[in-house]
Structure 1
Amino acid sequence: MYILPWLLCLVAVSTAAPATFYDDAYDYSDNLLNYYGKVSKKINKLRHTSSPTKASESCDRSKISLPAYASSLPSPTGLTATYVALGRGTQNYTCADSTASSTPVAIGAVANLYNATCLAANEPDLLADLPTIAYKIALPTNEYATFPPANLELMGHHFFYNATTPEFNLDTTKDKQYGIAMTNKEDSINAPSDATKGEYGAVTWLYLEAVAGTVGDYKAVYRVDTASGNCPTTCKGMPSAFEIQYAAVYYFYT
């Protein structure tokens, strides 16, 4: 029976690695167990399907849509969801001093972006689970290695071009040129109450508009399904500069 390649990759680690692998790779948590349970059910369902989807039909971008909670952000009406990426990195902050009278100041973010486009098209519930797992997983030593537990391929990098311009460089290699989205934050909403908070809370969901310098037809970027990343309310006991681990899902619209 034919099983979709993009779905098989979601369980490659679970079927090939010894149990001790998980101790070194990442926290084998209840969230991870639930994730693999969902994947197993989907694999079994496909095995019993009389006419499974062909590989050529397995990544229909027209099926991609934002999570329902994102409806409070400006709508992408008239735009096309072109790529979706799992972002894994740090939110970065500074403190004037380490007292309770100072407040952390955000100075941007740095993250690797992993291609989750087919996952968004076919299994959005699995994609929504990934940030909760991913923010605790260390980035691979080999930058171009796939990212567990979904074994997603590196798609690009997120960082700040300057103090106010988030950049998404999706030109990973000479063979994978997806363009560059230079953006400006236009709107935000607090993460939902059930978001994975980490130590200090989940960072906001964002609507970003493309600005001058963008390479390609990008018009908007959404940051959703955030996990962790928020800073403490004061600088008490904090260093002058610090990072908070986070993960999120980014939707790129053209």
Structure 2
Amino acid sequence: MPRQFSPGHPAKKIERRMASDYLTKLFGLEGQVAVVVGASGVLGGAIAEGLASAGATVVVSGLNPDRGENRAQLIQEAGGKATFISADTLSRDSLVQLRDQCIEKFGRIDMLVNCAGVNSSVPYEEISDEDWQRVIDTNLTGTHLACQVFAPYFAGREEGGSVLNIGSVTAHLPLSRVFAYSASKAAVLNLTKNLAREYATQGVRFNILCPGFFPAEQNRKILDKERVDNIIGQTPLARFGEPEELVGASILLLSRGAGSFITGATLYVDGGFTAMRF
């Protein structure tokens, strides 16, 4: 029978330290630099804060300097390391400048998270050409450009790199009033898997995180009572997700320890929604 020690016994302290060291080895991001595009939004912001809490230096990137600077400041006030660098995801030159500024300032980039996204909430027959293109450009083309700009840099490093794209359960499942959004996320999922295969031998991992229903700016307009009831009724956990609940999955997919053999993966964080629909 194993010996039993009191909570204050030195052996217990050693056990706790060993457990802490092990978890740090698996999930710790100390000394690494993460670029989070779209970190001024609700979901991207939660992921950025989570990466900083795990030890990463986070580059908050986006077009809105007020929101970006505020996000970086919140991370700093919580004891994390963060800075804001403006970038337009639809401009290759802007993304190249973002990459180069990060390398110049920090000497390295270890991971990229593509969180920038918009939605269109009108019925299919009412989607304008401009609105359709806006969603496709932001969600798909912006992700493509960021991957194309950062992937060669990661491939040229001995340490490689990790890219996390943000998808959606709607990439797989039909859902009314989000036609352009669903199409764009389905394409992002396909792009992610193709890039995972393309760069696997070059030390660059690509994965996609597919959230379920998390109230955010881009979907509040379509969350009327009937829609909310339908969503909750088809979600086994019977609630919406909290932005912070994306952090653990993000760290897993981005980390060199726990995530070292994960590439081309699709990870759902959806309260069981896809289990009810597939």
Greater strand percent: which structure? 1
Higher RCO (CA-CA < 8 Å; seq separation 6+): 1
User: Do these two structures clear the TM 0.5 threshold for a shared fold by scoring above it?
Assistant: no
Which has the greater radius of gyration? Answer: 2
The structure richer in helix per residue is: 2
Q: TM-score, normalised by structure 1?
A: 0.26
